[in-house]
């Protein structure tokens, strides 16, 4: 969670310095990804992340250097090889299903992965996350219905942060409690404070265990708040008051976990400060490394496609 937040802060700084461009912030959503990461087994389980799931991607093994290479769009970007703007996650090696821009993302494709897992005899679970706005689209209905009919090993996680960019929840959903929809697919559903790791983790663990036992999918509505604008191209002062944002800042998932760990004696102020320092250094080093990496070559656009190696390069690709 700390690494994710630090990467996030660093990206905003780099953008202000004119060194980086498109920021998609995960700040406020970190506990959800951490819970998924803790509940799942990265050796067998797949992640179809929401674009705000930097914490989950780190849990599934993406390294800070790789994340920063993705942010800078360098050739070393393991997600898209520098093709896509930031937060288009994906790594076949790490079981992270490739993302697409249109929302909701690859919900039905991810259910297809679960179906394939079944046919291949794998015990892998697929964690599928998307936003409250994405949850209103028809594809999600089809995916949940299919997953439940076939009792697939899936966890659906709606990351409800109350907005679809500028549109408030009451104008996008006919019900405020999105987990009630689980009932119409015959799967268990629950809403939880997604900014409290200690609340969301037990639910995540339960849902993953149920899926692994072959009992089918579950729906988790994890409520969170995004602290930053929708992306760096958005001006959230036009639709959210600063008071509202500040109120949610009081419930910061990292500050709450930190306080809990200090209070319970699991962490001391000294070790917390050491950890924060270590993370800052690691992320700063990753950013410096990634910035110095070469861009992808135009010809590289022909790699990693279905027609890998069989397409003739266009003239400008060798300029």
Ligand X SMILES: Cc1ncc(C[n+]2csc(CCOP(=O)(O)OP(=O)(O)O)c2C)c(N)n1
Q: Is 164 in the site for ligand X (CB under 6 A)?
A: yes
Q: Binding mask 79-108 vs ligand X (x if CB under 6 A, - otherwise)? A: ----------------------xxx-----
Number of residues that bind ligand X (CB under 6 A): 15
| Min dist. Cβ of residue 257 to Mg ion (A) | 22
| Min dist. Cβ of residue 159 to ligand X (A) | 6
Q: How far, in whole angstroms, is CA 57 from its chain's centroid?
A: 6
Rounded CA-CA distance 99/96 in Å is 9
Q: Is 132 in the site for Mg ion (CB under 5 A)?
A: yes
Q: Is 131 in the site for ligand X (CB under 6 A)?
A: yes
Q: Is 221 in the site for Mg ion (CB under 5 A)?
A: no
Please give the torsion angle defined by the CA atoms of residues 33, 39, 44 and 49, in that order, rounded to the nearest 10 degrees: -20
Q: Is 134 in the site for ligand X (CB under 6 A)?
A: yes
Q: Which residues contact 70 (CB under 8 A, 6 or more apart)?
A: 77, 78, 79, 80, 86, 88, 89
- With CB under 5 to 8 Å by kind, the binding choice for 256 among ligand X, Mg ion, none is none
- With CB under 5 to 8 Å by kind, the binding choice for 102 among Mg ion, ligand X, none is ligand X
Rounded CA-CA distance 208/46 in Å is 11
* 3-class SS of residue 1: coil
- With CB under 5 to 8 Å by kind, the binding choice for 227 among Mg ion, ligand X, none is none
**CA angle, 314 then 317 then 319, to 5°:** 120
Cα–Cα distances in Å, from 65 out to 8, 74, 76, 244?
13, 11, 9, 34
- 46, 89, 163, 227: residue in contact with ligand X (rule CB under 6 A): 163
- Which is nearer to ligand X, 64 or 104 (by Cβ)? 104
* Cβ neighbours around 184 below 10 Å, total: 12
Contact by Cβ (8 Å): 178, 184: no
| Min dist. Cβ of residue 88 to ligand X (A) | 11
- 10, 161, 173, 230: residue in contact with Mg ion (rule CB under 5 A): 161
- Which residues sit at the interface with Mg ion, rule CB under 5 A? 131-133, 161, 163
């Amino acid at each position: 969670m700390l690494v994710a937040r630090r990467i996030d802060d660093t990206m905003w700084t780099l953008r202000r310095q004119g060194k980086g461009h498109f920021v998609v912030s995960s700040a406020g959503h970190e506990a959800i990804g951490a819970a998924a990461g803790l509940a799942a087994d990265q050796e067998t389980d797949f992640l179809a992340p929401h674009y705000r799931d930097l914490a989950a991607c780190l849990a599934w093994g993406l390294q800070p250097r790789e994340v920063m290479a993705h942010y800078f769009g360098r050739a070393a970007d393991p997600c898209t090889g520098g093709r896509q703007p930031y937060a288009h996650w994906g790594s076949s090696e790490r079981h992270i299903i490739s993302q697409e821009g249109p929302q909701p993302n690859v919900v039905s494709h991810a259910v297809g992965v679960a179906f394939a897992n079944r046919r291949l005899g794998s015990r892998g679970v697929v964690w599928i996350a998307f936003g409250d706005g994405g949850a209103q689209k028809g594809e999600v209905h089809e995916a949940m219905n299919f997953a439940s009919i076939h009792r697939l090993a899936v966890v659906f996680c709606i990351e409800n942060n109350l907005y679809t960019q500028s549109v408030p929840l009451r104008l996008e959903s006919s019900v405020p409690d999105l987990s009630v929809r689980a009932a119409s697919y015959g799967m268990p559903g629950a809403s939880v404070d997604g900014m409290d790791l200690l609340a969301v983790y037990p639910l995540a663990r339960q849902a993953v265990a149920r899926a692994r036992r072959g009992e089918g999918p579950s729906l988790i509505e994890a409520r969170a708040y995004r602290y930053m604008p929708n992306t760096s191209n958005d001006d959230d002062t036009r639709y959210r008051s600063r008071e509202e944002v500040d109120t949610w800042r009081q419930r910061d998932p990292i500050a709450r976990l930190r306080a809990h760990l200090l209070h319970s004696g699991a962490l001391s102020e000294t070790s917390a400060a050491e950890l924060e320092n270590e993370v800052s250094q690691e992320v700063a080093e990753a950013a410096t490394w990634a910035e110095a990496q070469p861009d992808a070559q135009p010809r590289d656009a022909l790699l990693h496609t279905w027609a890998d190696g069989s397409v003739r390069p266009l003239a400008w690709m060798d300029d």
